[in-house]
Structure 1
Amino acid sequence: MEDQIIVFGRNDVEQLALSNRSSKCLPTLLDFKSNTKALPYIQEGIKTIRQGGNRMAILTHSNNLLLTLHDYKVNTTKSSSSTEHSNKASIDVPSHDICLLRNNVIDVAVGFSHCLFLTKQHELYGFGNTSNGRIGISNDQMMDNEEAVITNTFKRLYNIKCYQVPLAHLLDDHEHVTSIFALGQGTICKTNLENLISFGWNYRGELCSGVKSDRQGPKKITFFNSSVIDGIYTGYSHVMFLVNKRTDPKLYVCGWNESYQLGLGHNSNVFSITENEYCTFRHEIIDIALGYDFSIFLTRHGRVYGCGKLPSSPSDTIKTFGSFYEFKLDNITQITCGYYHALFVVNHKQIFASGTNDCCQCGFSDEDETNYGISNCRPLNISNPQPLSLLSAGQYCSAILFSCGHVKYEAEKRMKERLLLAVDESKLIDMIIR
């Protein structure tokens, strides 16, 4: 059985791959069987799902990239358009037409209105809104880079110019980009030498360069080159780093902090990477999710903490914990959040949602569109015969992946992590015997 995806939230430009354009879509199962272009890729197994303001990106285990690009679709004949919109799911697959993308993408990042992807050759490409330098291309480089557009097919089918982002001048010998992360109007890249390269809007310090700018070109930050970055987490305008998780765990933060979303005990914006010493549970963190003006943390004990603009809530739901809030939720195994909503998984099965539901991004059909508060969780009645594998959230939308293959992939990943940890601790034999 192939992987299955349930989507809900805003779909006004078909960013959820649903043909019924609407600002409010209730949970819907994507029907890939009716899409001969997408189905073969879905059958490979889905590695990750990334969502932004007007885009959903699906990366498969065979490194194929699927993108919703209906907002860029070139107008064709009326008959062909009506045929396209008759399908329940109408996801576009540029990798079917662009050789550069086929079996070649290792990471993808989606911001509010820009998208970047990284190839096996460690080349970075971007398209979308180019204002504030958020895809790393200056106006002069756009003119010089006209011939570097991926293929004519991309231009013919979609009204897009996709550029290669020039970063070679910032890289040392044997250094290359390994992963990419999008903020609302900016981008952060991580290299194999634990350095960062950031570009875009840096008016609140979110790009970690120490300089306030409304248009920052690619700049290298070497703050972590003697540490191991275990995780990079981005919100609209703030970022967090989990470092040295195996030896001496530390949490570093930067960016917008006017709502106390960095958990530092003050609300001044932070322009340089700063250690958060208020986070007393940092050694227990296994995942972090950042929203527009709030942050949530998942610990290995299944507890959830938060900071930032978390609305007041019933005393039986949340309590204050220093600079953070502790959610009174137990056995949480996954978290994700959009701009103003969050999703939680309990015991790998039950889904809870909280926050603003004005676009049905929480999955509820409430007519009053009440903001229930990030901290006031309600169960979401969604089930599937396959295991619940992955949560994803964009600005005003959400997706849930059900997959047997993804569970196997994650199990193998955890086993590799355990093996590495066992080797580090010289307890390999003990671990195998157990």
Structure 2
Amino acid sequence: MSLLIKRKLKKFLINNVRSISKLRKRQLLQNEDKFEVYNMQPKTCTTKNKIYVWGMADTGALGLATTIKVHKHGTMTVKRFPKRMPFGERFEVIDAAAGYGFSVFAIEPNEENNYYTLYGTGLNTDSQIGYHKLRGETRKPLELLLYPAPIELPKESHDEVHKVVKVSCGRAHTVAITENGVIFTMGNNSYGQCARKIIEDEIYLGSNVIHRIDTKYEIFSNERIIDVTCGQDHTIFLTDDGKLYSCGWSADGQTGLGHYKNQDEPSLIEGDIKNEKIVKVSSKGDCVLALNDKGEVFGFGNSEYNQILLNSDEQQINVPIHLEYLTKMGKIVDIAAGGCFSMVLNENGDVFVWGYGLLGFGPKVDFCKFPKRIPPALFGRNSFNKENRVVSINCGLYQMAAINSDNDLFMWGRNKFGSLGLGHENDQYFPLKSLVGAKVKKILCGVDHSVAICNLFI
């Protein structure tokens, strides 16, 4: 066979194959019965609450399982956008708290998670998230956890099951309360903030000490503790009948006990709240605000920037005083006490701020001696959405947050490590909507990161 005939035959075969291929494609396009069908089953998730985190990730506080190589090389890892946390897909989170470089989660205990109810992630230099060790013979205590690990709470009997419903974190200590009223404290106790005796030169790294307090003891006069608030190095307990007990560092009077000494045993706070029913307490630094059932606010602790007393040079208040000047703002329904500022929310959904910092009034205002209202339009209220209003507020040391009736989160203030969730690290001078892709129910602000408990839109 000549070379010319071979070439013509090869060309003929190639053209026929191409024609068959084109014909086949046309048939497939015209006949839907020939399509391959893939039955894609989405992964089911039974948890109601979803957890979003953002800010400093290098400490492990975000619990996103970042590789340990990043930490060893000293590379700063920052999440500027809110990211959905895998931990929240596995466990039903009841409550959460953001400390100084660490986070704690209270979850629904069940057989699948071996009935653990408290998990922690992030810095653990003071055993503020329990005792965790390396595997193997060395068994060295872990100073940093990159993903939430269970915290072993002491039990009185083998079959005892705890269900933590409230949790709060300070600079390096954690306090948890179970639905049965049992209290657990762990971490640094240098000032008595863990409600146990101060031990000189106590070593907290690798400590197994988790202090248990049963409310049946006389320490709380047999009253039931229903909530807890941790300041920087102090702790305040709230009873079911609205009384407050405190312990810890009191150099600025933040325990409200009438002195400036360390307090290692919780004691009853009196002053102007003696005959009041307190429903909420807020404290991120050394200033404390307390709200009663009538919508009145009381304050004590540090007032260096007039966050408690107005027109006064007094900077330390060691007993609660009634903040009468807030009565002009109407009935108060929520409070937030930061490092050097105070914030309240009235029943009309108006937010008032005063003190020092980036308060939400633009770059030219960093100090406000008297409470001033932030324009409601900045939180989404306008002529098309007249009913929109702020329903809750919170804060960190340097940043502020508000959630409106549409479950949108607004944040402003210092944006250290992207802790405002705005997609950048620039300071924010007025409230701006954070980029959380869900309905925000609760926001927890740490010193360099944030945690949000959310529901999905659908």
TM-score (norm 2): 0.70
- Of 244, 247, 258, which residue of structure 1 is paired with 2:293? 244
Larger-Rg structure: 2
The aligned residue for residue 359 of structure 1 is 417
Residue 179 of structure 2 is aligned to residue 131 of structure 1: no
Shift of 1:361: 0.5
In structure 2, the partner of 1:189 is 237
Which residue, out of 258, 268, 275, partners 1:226? 275
Deviations 1:284-320 (A, max 9, x none): 2221122111111122222110111134775799899
Q: Does 1:91 align with 2:160?
A: no
Residues 188, 142 of structure 1: CA spacing in aligned structure 2 closer, same or farther, 3 A cutoff?
A: farther
What are the equivalent positions in structure 2 for 1:319-358 lying under 5 Å apart? Answer: 323-330=370-377, 331-358=389-416
Quote the offset at 1:394 in angstroms: 1.5
Counterparts of 1:28-427 in structure 2, within 5 Å, are: 28-32=83-87, 39=90, 41-42=91-92, 46-60=93-107, 64-68=117-121, 71=124, 72=127, 73-76=132-135, 90-94=147-151, 102-139=161-198, 159-165=207-213, 168-172=217-221, 174-223=222-271, 224-245=273-294, 249-262=295-308, 264-268=310-314, 269-281=316-328, 283-311=330-358, 323-330=370-377, 331-366=389-424, 369-373=425-429, 376-384=430-438, 387-403=439-455
CA gap 1:75/1:318 in 2 versus in 1, 3 angstroms: same
Conserved in 2, the CA contact under 8 Å of 1:263 and 1:308? no
* Secondary structure of the structure 1 residue equivalent to 2:417: coil
Give 3-state SS (helix, strand or coil) of 2:135's partner: coil
Amino acid at match of 2:352: Y
Moved more, 6-15 or 183-192: 6-15
Please report how far the alpha carbon of residue 124 of structure 1 lies from its aligned counterpart in structure 2 after TM superposition. 2.1
Shift of 1:209: 0.4
Separation in 1 of the partners of 2:293 and 2:431? Answer: 32
Q: 1:13 to 1:123 in 2, by over 3 A?
A: same
Matched, 1:8 2:54: yes
- Show the counterpart of 1:24: 78
Alpha carbons of structure 1 residues 179 and 100: separation in structure 2 relative to 1, 3 Å:
farther
- Residues 1:394 and 1:288: Cα distance change in structure 2 (over 3 Å): same
Q: Which runs of 5+ in 1 are unaligned?
A: 144-154, 408-434
Offset at residue 23 of structure 1 (A): 5.5
* Aligned counterparts of 2:60 and 2:187: Cα–Cα separation in 1: 16
Distance 1:260-1:92 versus aligned 2 partners, 3 A rule: same
Question: Is 337-346 or 128-137 further displaced after alignment?
Answer: 337-346
Q: Deviations over 1:138-173 (max 9, x none)?
A: 246999xxxxxxxxxxx9xx754212248734333x
Tell me: CA distance 1:315–1:169, structure 2 relative to 1, closer, same or farther (3 Å). Answer: closer
Q: How many residues align?
A: 369
Structure 1: distance between partners of 2:164 and 2:201: 23
Identity %: 18
Opposite residue 171 of structure 1, the aligned amino acid is F
Q: Normalising by structure 1, report the TM-score.
A: 0.74
Distance of 2:122 and 2:361 partners within structure 1: 42
Give the alignment's Cα RMSD to 1 decimal.
Answer: 3.7
**In the alignment, is the contact (CA less than 8 A) between 1:263 and 1:279 conserved in 2?**
no
SS in 1 for 2:147: coil
Question: Residue deviations 1:314-345, cap 9 Å, x none?
Answer: 57998999821211134223322111112223
* 8 A contact 1:135–1:165 mirrored in 2: no
Post-superposition CA distance 1:2-47 (Å, at most 9, x none): 23211011233312212225452222211138xxxx82x32xxx33
